[in-house]
């Protein structure tokens, strides 16, 4: 994307007119979308459910097998027999019919990943009746409330399209805020009483969900139902935010799980916005008229609250971080008061990806690791890391296209010039991170990276490579889709180079999708 230049004269009027028409359209579309969600949330009446011959809700019974398959797929289970699946499904149906479910059997785990500690909850047995029914309830809530989970890439694209117009305005305020420990602080019993109970048309479904929330108490991270219940409650919060700010200059508002960003076309005081948001939070999450068991502890994480107003800008940089991106606002020329904006990746995320590459190198260097000095495995892992990975995941409901990888997560940055609108630390990270990780671990540069150590720009640019900056610019993609990507024979040979056998333990040739799953797990990409 070319550098944003301030228009002059007649061009200025035309540009500003187009800008405001575009922003008005964006706002109108967003309001319509939120209004649709609000109507679904408060007015949707579920279709009448019927019972099976066993007295079970047909909605729940019909979801059990799909739920089991979903759990198996999401946990990367390979080789589970149909008999094992059928047994798990029958045990879940029997427990549901006899009332032999105890949802309180969850266990607490502390996970440490990329330097962060998370408390999650799960059932020890992946195919336990409680875990399967938990997934069933999630699917039921998704259907009844028509839950639409946020699309990160879509949100980011809209935000990147909006901000260049915003910074040319004479006044604006941008606010980033999020909830503190959202899942583990949200009372499941509160959500049931305030949002769910009166919208479930079938008594057996309502009773089952009531039993679940009473025995689990909170929408703990790790439980399938938590995503649905947390999104239902947060959607009500979104509607309330729209109602409070839609007449006060709101240009853009979005929330991704527990992170929100709000853009207004006028200067606001930070404390005023905080006060309004706190009122909305109390209204949605702390309704005193709702009688429930465990209290709702939902609050804002004020350490991460950030507000940038045009009136406060100077030559000193003011930054907002959102979904791993960093937006840097400053004024280069105080006399003309033209707002400059650069885009980048947050320091926290840059360190995260450095650690990720560092772990791959450590596995390569560790004599105790099965990956020790496996240069081909290291090469393919770095290739996957520095590329956009596209594949198809097969579900009983159909095929779902999935995109993973660093380049996919930060795809919007590929449109910016490194010396203009791309933040300089980010540009340096993209160009040099992989090589620097080898240097920091005092590991000899492998043969496939030696071209990046040369000072000859032509040789460096001509090489096909593992350069994040170059690959992001070209949107380099590894396509693992049969028929349009690697064909079976070529992909089989690729797998064999990293010790993935094309034949299973029963001597049966693995399917293309089975090989993709094994390969991506082996590459540390995940499936």
Q: Check residue 76 and give its pLDDT.
A: 54
Residue tagged 């971080």 (tokens): 321
Q: Check residue 34 and give its pLDDT.
A: 52
Asked if 65 and 21 sit in the same domain, the reply is no
Domain limit, last residue, from 86, 114, 144: 144
Helical pair 152-166 and 9-43, crossing angle rounded to 10 deg: 140
Q: Is residue 395 part of a domain?
A: yes
The tens place of each residue's pLDDT in the chain, 527 residues long, gives 333 333 444 544 454 555 555 555 555 555 455 544 444 333 333 344 444 444 455 567 778 888 888 888 776 555 677 888 889 999 999 998 898 999 999 999 888 766 677 888 999 998 999 999 999 999 999 999 999 999 998 999 999 999 999 999 999 999 999 999 999 999 999 999 999 998 887 888 899 999 999 999 999 999 999 999 999 999 999 999 999 999 899 999 999 999 999 999 999 999 999 999 999 999 999 999 988 778 899 999 999 999 999 999 987 889 999 999 999 999 988 888 889 999 999 999 999 999 999 999 999 999 999 999 999 999 999 999 999 999 998 765 567 889 999 999 999 998 887 768 999 999 999 999 999 999 999 999 999 888 776 766 666 655 557 889 989 999 999 999 998 999 999 999 999 999 999 998 889 999 999 999 999 999 999 87
Nearest to 381 by CA among 354, 402, 365, 361: 361
Phi and psi at 442, nearest 5°, equal 50, 45
Domain limit, last residue, from 345, 360, 387: 345
Q: Pull the structure tokens for residue 98.
A: 């006899």
Asked if 286 and 248 sit in the same domain, the reply is yes
Domain limit, last residue, from 289, 323, 345: 345
Asked if 266 and 311 sit in the same domain, the reply is yes
Q: Is residue 190 part of a domain?
A: yes
Asked if 323 and 405 sit in the same domain, the reply is no
Contacts of 304 (CB under 8 A, 6+ apart): 176, 177, 178
Number of domains in the chain: 3
Asked if 183 and 292 sit in the same domain, the reply is yes
Asked if 339 and 358 sit in the same domain, the reply is no
- Rounded to whole angstroms, how far apart are CA atoms 318 and 273? 18
Q: Check residue 464 and give its pLDDT.
A: 57
Q: Is residue 50 part of a domain?
A: no
Asked if 140 and 156 sit in the same domain, the reply is no
Q: Pull the structure tokens for residue 94.
A: 């029997």
Residue 283 DSSP code = H
Containing domain of residue 247, as a range?
A: 9-44+149-345
DSSP letters along 34-78, please?
HHHHHHHHHH--PPPP-B-TTS-BHHHHHHHHHHHHHHHHHTT--
Q: Check residue 396 and give its pLDDT.
A: 54
Asked if 137 and 158 sit in the same domain, the reply is no
Asked if 502 and 433 sit in the same domain, the reply is yes
CA geometry: angle at 447 spanning 446 and 448, to 5°? 95
Q: Is residue 385 part of a domain?
A: yes
Q: Is residue 53 part of a domain?
A: no
Asked if 391 and 503 sit in the same domain, the reply is yes
114: left (phi over 0), alpha (psi -120 to 50) or beta: left
Q: Is residue 452 part of a domain?
A: yes
Do residues 338 and 332 lie in contact, with contact meaning Cβ atoms separated by under 8 Å? yes
Q: Is residue 103 part of a domain?
A: yes
Asked if 97 and 138 sit in the same domain, the reply is yes
Nearest to 382 by CA among 366, 417, 406, 416: 406
Q: Is residue 51 part of a domain?
A: no
Asked if 21 and 65 sit in the same domain, the reply is no
- Rounded to whole angstroms, how far apart are CA atoms 449 and 436? 12
Q: Check residue 74 and give its pLDDT.
A: 72
Q: Check residue 40 and give its pLDDT.
A: 37
The neighbour count for residue 300, using CB atoms within 10 Å, is 17
* Cα torsion angle, 368, 370, 375, 381, sign: negative
Q: Check residue 58 and give its pLDDT.
A: 57
């Amino acid at each position: 994307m070319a550098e944003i230049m301030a228009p002059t004269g007649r061009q200025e009027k035309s540009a500003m007119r187009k800008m405001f028409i575009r922003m008005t359209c964006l706002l109108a579309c967003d309001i319509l979308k939120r209004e649709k969600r609000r109507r679904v949330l408060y007015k949707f009446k579920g279709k009448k459910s019927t019972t099976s011959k066993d007295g079970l809700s047909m909605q729940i019974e019909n979801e059990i097998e799909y739920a089991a398959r979903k759990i198996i797929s999401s946990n990367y289970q390979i080789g589970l027999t149909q008999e094992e699946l059928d047994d798990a499904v029958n045990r879940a149906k029997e427990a549901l019919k006899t009332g032999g479910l105890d949802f309180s059997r969850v266990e607490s785990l502390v996970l440490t990943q990329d330097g962060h500690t998370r408390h999650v909850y799960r059932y020890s047995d992946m195919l336990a009746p409680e875990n399967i029914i938990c997934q069933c309830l999630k699917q039921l809530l998704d259907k009844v409330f028509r839950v639409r989970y946020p699309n990160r890439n879509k949100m980011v694209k809209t935000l990147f399209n909006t901000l260049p117009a915003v910074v040319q305005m004479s006044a604006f305020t941008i606010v980033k805020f999020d909830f503190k420990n959202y899942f583990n602080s949200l009372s499941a019993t509160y959500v049931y009483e305030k949002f769910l109970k009166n919208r479930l048309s079938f008594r057996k479904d309502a009773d089952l969900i009531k039993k679940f929330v009473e025995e689990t108490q909170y929408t703990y991270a790790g439980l399938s139902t938590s995503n649905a219940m947390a999104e239902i409650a947060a959607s009500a919060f979104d509607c309330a935010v729209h109602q409070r700010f839609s007449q006060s200059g709101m240009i853009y508002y979005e929330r991704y799980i527990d992170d929100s960003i709000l853009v207004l076309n006028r200067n606001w005081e930070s404390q005023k916005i905080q006060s309004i948001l706190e009122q909305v939070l109390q209204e949605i999450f702390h309704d005193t008229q709702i009688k429930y068991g465990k209290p709702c502890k939902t609050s804002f994480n004020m350490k991460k609250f950030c507000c940038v107003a045009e009136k406060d800008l100077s030559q000193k940089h003011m930054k907002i971080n959102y979904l791993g991106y960093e937006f840097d606002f400053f004024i280069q020329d105080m006399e003309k008061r033209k707002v400059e904006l650069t885009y980048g990746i947050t320091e926290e995320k840059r360190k995260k990806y450095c650690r990720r590459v560092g772990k791959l190198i450590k596995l390569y260097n560790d004599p105790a690791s099965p990956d020790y000095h496996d240069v081909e495995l290291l090469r393919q892992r770095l290739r996957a890391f520095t590329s956009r990975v596209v594949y198809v995941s097969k579900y009983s409901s159909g095929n779902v296209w999935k995109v993973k990888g660093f380049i996919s997560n930060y795809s919007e940055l590929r449109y910016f010039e490194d010396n203009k609108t791309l933040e300089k630390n980010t540009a340096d990270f993209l160009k040099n991170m992989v090589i620097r990780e080898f240097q920091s671990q005092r590991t000899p540069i492998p043969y496939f990276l030696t071209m990046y150590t040369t000072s000859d720009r032509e040789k460096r640019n001509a090489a096909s490579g593992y350069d994040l900056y170059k690959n992001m610019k070209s949107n380099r993609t590894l396509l693992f889709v049969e028929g349009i990507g690697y064909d079976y024979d070529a992909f089989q040979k690729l797998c064999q180079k990293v010790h993935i056998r094309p034949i299973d333990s029963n001597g049966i040739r693995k399917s293309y999708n089975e090989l993709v799953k094994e390969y991506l797990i082996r590459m540390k990409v995940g499936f």
